[in-house]
C-alpha cells in the first residue's frame, strides 16, 4: 500500500486557496459540544466574512468567540488536493461603512434561502494548510 | 437574485450519503477553542470510524467527548449538492475483536501518511442533512 504524502502549505498559498474558495465549514463550541456548519463565504482584507441568522447556532454562539474555519478540495479518485484551516475570534460586523464595503464586493448568494442579515467577520490569527499528493 | 432552496434530508438519505462518502471533517473542542480536521473515514454499523495519532489534536482531545462530523458534496458552479452532519460521543476502539472487524472492512488509506494507529468510533445520536437545490 502506498502511503500518502502531505506537505505544509505556505501562508501565501493558504491565503490564495482560501481566497479562491466559496464553500467552507465553521466549527463553533456550544454548551452541547462542538458543531460544524457548512456555508459560503468571502474574504474582506484578512478576514473571512459569512452571514447567518440571529437564531441559528452561529447567531447564538459565534459572537466574540474563537471559531475554526475549513476549506478543502480533494479529488476522491486520486486523493490529491488540499485543505486550509483558519482560526480566529469572530465578531459581528456592525459598522455601517464596513457593511457597505462587504456588500459591494460580495453579492450575497446564500446556499440556503432565508433572512441572513447577520454578518460575521473572522480575522484569522492562524492560517495553515496541507497539500495532499494522493496515493497514485 | 434567485434565492436558493434547501430541503431537510430524511434519516435514511443522511445515512446513505454518509456511507457513500470518504472525506469528512471533524470538529473538536479544545481548551483553545474549536478546531476542525479533515480526514477520511468509514462506517461500521451506526458509527463513523476514523484513525489518528496519539499526539494529534484528536488523539489529545477527542476521547470520550462530543464531536461533530460533516460530509458534503456541493457543485461550485450550480450550488447544487448536499451536506450531512453527525453528532455523537467518540470513544477509542480498544476491543481487539472490534478492531479486527473494522480493519477487515476498511483498508486504511490515510490522506496523510504516518502512524495512525488510534481508531476512534463515533456512534451518532444526531444525524441531519440538507439538500441544496442550487441557484440556477
- Give yes or no for residue B97 having a pLDDT over 70: yes
- Burial of residue A58 (CB within 10 Å: 0-12, 13-18, 19+) is buried
Q: Residue B69: which of B125, B16, B12 has the closest Cα?
A: B125
Q: Which of A39-43, B73-77, B100-104, B106-110 holds the top average pLDDT?
A: A39-43
pLDDT band at A101; cut points 50, 70, 90: confident
How is A74-106 classified by DSSP, letter by letter?
A: E-TTT-EEEEEEEEEEEEE---HHHHHHHHHH-
Q: What nine digits make up the cell of A128? A: 495553515
- Give yes or no for residue A110 having a pLDDT over 70: no
- Give yes or no for residue B11 having a pLDDT over 90: yes
For residue B109, what pLDDT is reported? 59
Please tell me if residue B7 touches chain A, with a CB cutoff of 8 Å. no
For residue B19, what pLDDT is reported? 96
Q: Flag if B112 and A76 touch (Cβ within 8 Å).
A: no
Please tell me if residue B94 touches chain A, with a CB cutoff of 8 Å. no
Digit-coded pLDDT (tens) for A111-122: 555 667 789 999
Q: Residue A41: which of A64, A62, A12 has the closest Cα?
A: A62
Q: What is this structure's pTM?
A: 0.89
Q: Flag if B6 and A112 touch (Cβ within 8 Å).
A: yes
- Chain A partners within 8 Å of B136 (Cβ): none
Average pLDDT over residues A102-113: 69
ipTM given for this complex: 0.87
Please tell me if residue B67 touches chain A, with a CB cutoff of 8 Å. yes
pLDDT band at A133; cut points 50, 70, 90: confident
Please tell me if residue A32 touches chain B, with a CB cutoff of 8 Å. yes
Q: What nine digits make up the cell of A84? A: 486550509
pLDDT band at A17; cut points 50, 70, 90: very high
For residue B4, what pLDDT is reported? 54
Rounded to the nearest integer, the mean pLDDT of chain B is: 87
- Chain B partners within 8 Å of A79 (Cβ): 109, 111
Residues 6+ apart with CB under 8 A from A97: none
Amino acid at each position: 500500500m502506498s502511503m500518502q504524502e502531505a506537505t505544509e502549505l505556505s501562508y501565501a498559498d493558504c491565503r490564495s486557496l482560501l481566497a479562491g474558495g466559496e464553500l467552507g465549514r465553521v466549527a463553533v463550541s456550544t454548551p452541547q459540544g462542538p458543531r460544524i456548519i457548512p456555508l459560503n463565504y468571502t474574504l474582506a482584507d484578512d478576514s473571512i466574512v459569512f452571514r447567518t441568522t440571529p437564531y441559528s447556532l452561529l447567531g447564538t454562539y459565534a459572537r466574540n468567540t474563537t471559531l475554526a474555519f475549513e476549506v478543502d478540495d480533494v479529488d476522491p479518485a486520486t486523493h490529491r488536493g488540499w485543505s486550509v484551516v483558519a482560526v480566529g475570534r469572530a465578531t459581528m460586523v456592525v459598522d455601517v461603512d464596513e457593511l457597505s464595503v462587504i456588500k459591494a464586493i460580495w453579492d450575497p448568494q446564500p446556499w440556503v434561502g432565508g433572512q441572513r442579515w447577520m454578518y460575521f467577520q473572522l480575522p484569522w490569527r492562524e492560517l495553515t494548510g496541507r497539500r495532499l499528493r494522493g496515493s497514485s
